[in-house]
């Protein structure tokens, strides 16, 4: 096992699903992991599992929609591990509903968590990465960032925005590279259906039932570990290789 002594990888949404699986896989690869999310008990459970396997982690709870709280939690990781070498933006919610039946508070929350939450984490880790001239920022987008799913319009808009932010950040850092020599890489991973608790964040009952049924009927739905391994693969690429975007669908998923 390679041991990455420098800094940690901050993973948002690390208490469950894709974030938790990614934290476990990265810890097994020798990286220290900073676990971020709102539920302390969920984060501590993942931290315990990592520790039992001999890995290094720190649970720091925060709501990524809160810029100050996100920065404070990330600063705890910097203090413990000496810096942040990587960020995985996996925190997200999907309270979908048809627009005429939706609660506008849900629209606001989707954008605050899925888009601004990712930017808050980027803002907290980027100065240190620019100072060291190295780092890797990965975000979990979605096929919903490319394809419109009716009744999930605002969720699709949030993922589409995250795709643009990721590509914009990549281009801005690449342009600066000639002046400051930074080797910061930016990656967006766009999964199709993954077997997680995400559909449970849907309050609109018909939408929740439709999503659950769609997931249940899919043969070979992706597992969180499938996406976690994709994250690890992109991070393990040599520093001059910037894997920019990967779409991963269950083999039978059409769009």
Q: Active-site residue numbers?
A: 155
Q: Is there binding between residue 17 and ligand NAP (CB under 6 A)?
A: yes
Q: Which residues are within 8 A (CB) of 203 and not within 5 positions of it... i.e. 6 or more apart? A: 95, 97, 103, 106
Closest CA to 135 of 189, 186, 72: 186
- Nearer Cβ to ligand NAP (173/188): 188
Determine if 34 is a binding residue for ligand NAP (CB under 6 A): no
> Residue 186 CB: number of other CB atoms within 10 A?
25
CA distance 230 to 236: 10
Piece of 47-55, 123-131, 191-199, 241-249 that binds ligand NAP (CB under 6 A): 191-199
Binding mask 50-89 for ligand NAP (x = CB under 6 A): -------------xxx------------------------
CB 171 to ligand NAP: min, Å: 22
Q: Does 197 bind ligand NAP (CB under 6 A)?
A: yes
C-alpha 17/C-alpha 90 separation (Å) is 9
Binding to ligand NAP by residue 196, rule CB under 6 A? yes
Under 8 Å CB-to-CB from 230, ≥6 apart: which residues? 189, 246, 248
- Minimum distance from residue 68 beta carbon to ligand NAP (Å): 13
Site for ligand NAP in 200-219 (CB under 6 A): none
- Report, in Å, the least distance between residue 17 CB and ligand NAP: 2
| Side-chain-facing half-sphere of 137: CA atoms under 13 Å | 27
x-marked contacts with ligand NAP along 118-157 as a string, rule CB under 6 A: ----------------------x-x---------------
Cβ closest to ligand NAP, residue 4 vs residue 119: 119
d(C-alpha 225, C-alpha 44), whole Å: 19
- Using CA atoms, how far apart are residues 57 and 35, in angstroms rounded to an integer? 7
First to last CA, the chain: 37
Instruction: Return d(Cα 210, Cα 216) in angstroms, integer.
Output: 10
Contact residues toward ligand NAP (CB under 6 A) are: 12-13, 15-19, 37-39, 42, 63-65, 90-94, 113, 117, 140, 142, 191, 193-194, 196-198, 224
């Amino acid at each position: 096992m390679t041991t990455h002594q420098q800094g940690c990888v901050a993973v948002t949404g690390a208490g469950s699903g894709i974030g938790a699986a990614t934290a476990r896989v990265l810890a097994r690869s020798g990286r220290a992991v900073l676990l971020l999310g709102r539920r302390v008990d969920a984060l501590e459970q993942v931290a315990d599992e990592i520790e039992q396997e001999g890995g290094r982690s720190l649970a720091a709870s925060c709501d990524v929609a809160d810029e100050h709280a996100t920065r404070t939690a990330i600063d705890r990781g910097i203090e413990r591990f000496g810096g942040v070498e990587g960020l995985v933006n996996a925190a997200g919610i999907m309270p979908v509903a048809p627009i005429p039946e939706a609660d506008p508070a849900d629209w606001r929350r989707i954008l605050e968590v899925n888009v601004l939450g990712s930017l808050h984490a980027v803002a907290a880790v980027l100065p240190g990465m620019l100072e060291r001239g190295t780092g890797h920022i990965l975000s979990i987008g979605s096929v919903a960032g490319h394809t419109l799913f009716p009744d999930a319009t605002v969720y699709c808009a949030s993922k589409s925005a995250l795709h643009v932010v990721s590509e914009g950040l990549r281009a801005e850092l690449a342009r600066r590279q000639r002046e400051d020599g930074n080797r910061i890489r930016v990656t967006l991973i766009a999964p199709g259906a993954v077997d997680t608790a995400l559909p449970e964040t849907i309050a609109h009952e018909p939408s929740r039932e439709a999503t659950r049924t769609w997931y249940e009927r899919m043969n070979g739905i992706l597992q969180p570990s499938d996406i976690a391994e994709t994250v690890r693969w992109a991070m393990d690429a040599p520093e001059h290789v910037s894997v920019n975007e990967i779409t991963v669908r269950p083999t039978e998923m059409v769009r």
